[in-house]
Chain A
Amino acid sequence: MIVPEPAEATRVAVVTGGSRGIGAAVSYRLAADGHTVHLVCRSALDAGRRVVKEIEAAGGRAVLHQADIGDEADVEGLVERVTAQEGALHVLVNNAAVIDDQLLAVTRTDRWENVLRTNLTGPFLTSRAVLPTMLDQGWGRIINISSNSARTPGPGQSAYAASKGGLEALTRALAVEVGRKGIRVNCVAPGKVRTEMTAAVADQLGPDSDGTRWGLPEDISGLIAFLARDEADYIQGQTFTVDGGRMVMRSPGRRSR
């Protein structure tokens, strides 16, 4: 029987927005793979504590941090704390995001900027902060969480879609810069996933007419965990859609008989 020591057993992961939704599912999953998981959240501390407790109860290691990833000083402090504590930082999952949907014609600048700051500037700040450590290691994984809205936005999603489209472009641009240093940068773009963040949108959209179900965070976390592994070494600068097939379906009116 072959029982190799998994490399993940000594690896350190940071998951932003790790207390709820996809971030919580990714945290569980990475912890199950052996990572020490540092969850970051801005306000949902109670939820974050529950995730840490559950990971610890299952025999894993997890640490909770409060930080606003759109805030430069917060991000620098966060990464300093993690690297001081662990002496390493291998995996960064840029998952934290906000939705603030409004038709563009009535979108106030400050609300536009708030979405861009969390969803796009945040991943820029966290990626920049972790790069020196990943360069030291000659190994790193940055996994950005985008959305189908980058390609097929609904009305009112201009800020959210622009932030996610920017994040996918950032994924490619950073991949080009750091690939030769052993760092992989990829992106996962979920379709509609039921989380607290999408709850309001989900209620507006109502039940499905196209036969695809709403996804669960656990439908997304497996691919993210795979991209964090050594096996994903040859995957670089890509965005993967995980939406139960919705993106490839024809609209009902164009169905052939």
Chain B
Amino acid sequence: MTTVSHAAQAEIIELLKEVKPGIADQAIEPGHSVVEDLGLDSLDLLQLARRINRRFGIEFDLDQWNAEADEHHRSVASIVAVVAAGDRA
């Protein structure tokens, strides 16, 4: 993992805890599914995507990310990957 995505991961975990205060004390791993393991619903995801866009200045395509859920199981790492790709773009 690059330094950039390492920093992004820490920030994304921070944003996850903002939109879902119930997981504030939980140890969050890159492999955790934000839906199945962390319990985010579609409203949380919409809020998260908009906060990611503002924080990183990217355009998080929630629909596309959802469409690829079979591959990445909506893991924390998959969000980090989108942000890292967006940062490079």
Question: Contact residues of A with B, CB < 8 Å?
Answer: 131-132, 135-136, 177-178, 181
Contact = CB atoms under 8 A, between A and B. Distances in A.
For the residues of A in contact with B, the DSSP-based class is helix
Nearest to B44: A181
**The 7 nearest A-B residue pairs measured at CB:** A135-B47, A136-B50, A132-B50, A177-B43, A135-B46, A132-B46, A135-B50
A131 B54 CA distance: 16
Interface in B12-69: 43, 46-47, 50-51, 54
Contacts of B47: 135-136, 181
Contacts of B51: 136
B63 to A, nearest CB: 14
A181 B50 contact: no
A189 B54 CA distance: 38
Contacts of B46: 131-132, 135
Contacts of B43: 135, 177-178, 181
Contacts of A177: 43
15 contacts: A131-B46, A132-B46, A132-B50, A135-B43, A135-B46, A135-B47, A135-B50, A136-B47, A136-B50, A136-B51, A136-B54, A177-B43, A178-B43, A181-B43, A181-B47
Contacts of A131: 46
B46 to A, nearest CB: 6
Contacts of B54: 136
A85 B43 CA distance: 25
Contacts of A136: 47, 50-51, 54
A113 B80 CA distance: 46
Of A135, A136, A178, most buried by chain B (CB within 10 Å of CB) is A135
A205 B50 CA distance: 51
A177 B47 CA distance: 13
Residue of B43, B46, B50, B54 with most chain A CB atoms under a 10 A cut-off: B43
A132 B51 CA distance: 10
A178 B44 CA distance: 10
Contacts of A135: 43, 46-47, 50
Q: Which of B46, B47, B51 has the most CB of A within 10 A?
A: B47
Nearest to A183: B43
A115 to B, nearest CB: 30
A131 B47 CA distance: 10
A84 B16 CA distance: 26
A187 B54 CA distance: 32
A177 B42 CA distance: 10
A181 B43 CA distance: 9
B54 to A, nearest CB: 8
Contacts of B50: 132, 135-136
Contacts of A181: 43, 47
A239 to B, nearest CB: 23
A178 B41 CA distance: 11
A170 B46 CA distance: 20
B70 to A, nearest CB: 26
A136 B51 CA distance: 7
